[in-house]
C-alpha cells in the first residue's frame, strides 16, 4: 500500500523568502505524485502533478516540484513566497493514475511580513 | 475550468438523525467520485469510491451501512450519514474524476457536519 510522509507540520517563512516543503512517499511501482493546496473554507486545488518524464515539474502559482526516485521524495518549492500562499499543503500519491489517492498529513504554511 | 460543488456547505443535526450531502460535477461528467473525511488538523482519509450505476467501494474500517453512497447519475453522488452521532462530526470532501481523457480529479469545497 502507498503512503506519504510530510515531516513538517507547520512552517513559517518571511514574505519574499524561498520555500521548500518536504514530501516522502512509499510505493512499490512508479508513483503518481501530486501537490494540493487547501485554503481556509475552500476546496483542494491541484498545484502540480508528476506522472512520468521530466522530474522537475512546473505548476501553478509559481510552484515547482522535483521527483527524486533515489530519495523517494517529491519536494515542493517556490523561489519567492507571497502572503497569499499561506495555506495548508498536501502531498499525495496515487496508484494507477487517479484510482486511489493517499494524502500526507499536510504542512501548514504561515507567511510573515 | 472543472467545478465540483457540494451541498450543504455546513450542517448541524441532532444525534440520531440522518444527513445527506450532495456532490455535483457542474461542467463535466464523472463516472467515478470519491468521498473523503478530514479531521481537524489531519489529512484526508478516503472513505469510499463511488461509481455511477454500481455499488460504492468502501475503504477498510468504513461502515457501509452508516455512510450510504448513491451515484445515480454522471454528475451527482450523495453521501448519507445515517443515525448520526457526535463522533461523525467532521469535514466531508468529495472529488470527481473527469471522464474526458485526462481523468483529472477535482475537489469540492467540503461540507462541515456537526452532530449535537
**Chain B residues with CB inside 8 Å of A36's CB?**
107
In this prediction, residue B104 carries a pLDDT of 74
Instruction: Check pLDDT > 60 for residue A28.
Output: yes
- Choose the most confident range, by mean pLDDT, from A14-18, A24-28, A101-105, B100-104: A14-18
Residue A69: strand, helix, or coil: helix
Q: What is the pLDDT of residues A60-89, one digit of tens each?
A: 999 999 999 999 999 999 999 999 999 999
Distance CA B98, CA B20 (A): 23
Q: Averaged over A13-25, what is the pLDDT?
A: 97
CB–CB contacts below 8 A, A to B: 39
To the nearest whole Å, the CA of B64 is away from the closest chain A CA by 18
Residue B20 has phi, psi (to 5 degrees) of -110, 130
Amino acid at each position: 500500500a502507498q503512503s506519504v510522509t510530510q515531516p513538517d507540520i507547520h512552517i513559517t517563512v518571511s514574505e519574499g523568502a524561498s520555500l521548500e516543503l518536504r514530501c516522502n512517499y512509499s510505493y512499490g511501482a512508479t508513483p503518481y505524485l501530486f501537490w494540493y493546496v487547501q485554503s481556509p473554507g475552500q476546496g483542494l486545488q491541484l498545484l502540480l502533478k508528476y506522472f512520468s518524464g521530466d522530474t522537475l515539474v512546473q505548476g501553478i502559482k509559481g510552484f515547482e516540484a522535483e521527483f527524486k526516485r533515489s530519495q523517494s521524495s517529491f519536494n515542493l518549492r517556490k523561489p519567492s513566497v507571497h502572503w497569499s500562499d499561506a495555506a495548508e499543503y498536501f502531498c499525495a500519491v496515487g496508484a494507477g493514475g487517479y484510482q486511489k489517492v493517499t494524502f500526507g498529513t499536510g504542512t501548514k504554511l504561515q507567511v510573515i511580513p | 475550468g472543472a467545478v465540483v460543488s457540494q451541498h450543504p456547505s455546513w450542517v448541524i443535526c441532532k444525534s440520531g438523525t440522518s444527513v445527506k450531502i450532495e456532490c455535483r460535477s457542474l461542467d463535466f461528467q464523472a463516472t467515478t467520485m470519491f468521498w473523503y473525511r478530514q479531521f481537524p488538523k489531519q489529512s484526508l482519509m478516503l472513505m469510499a469510491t463511488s461509481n455511477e450505476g454500481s455499488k460504492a467501494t468502501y475503504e477498510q474500517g468504513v461502515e457501509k451501512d452508516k455512510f450510504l453512497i448513491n451515484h445515480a447519475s454522471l454528475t451527482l453522488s450523495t453521501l448519507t450519514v445515517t443515525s448520526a452521532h457526535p463522533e461523525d462530526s467532521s469535514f466531508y470532501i468529495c472529488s470527481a474524476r473527469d471522464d474526458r481523457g485526462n481523468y483529472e480529479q477535482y475537489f469540492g469545497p467540503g461540507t462541515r457536519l456537526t452532530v449535537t
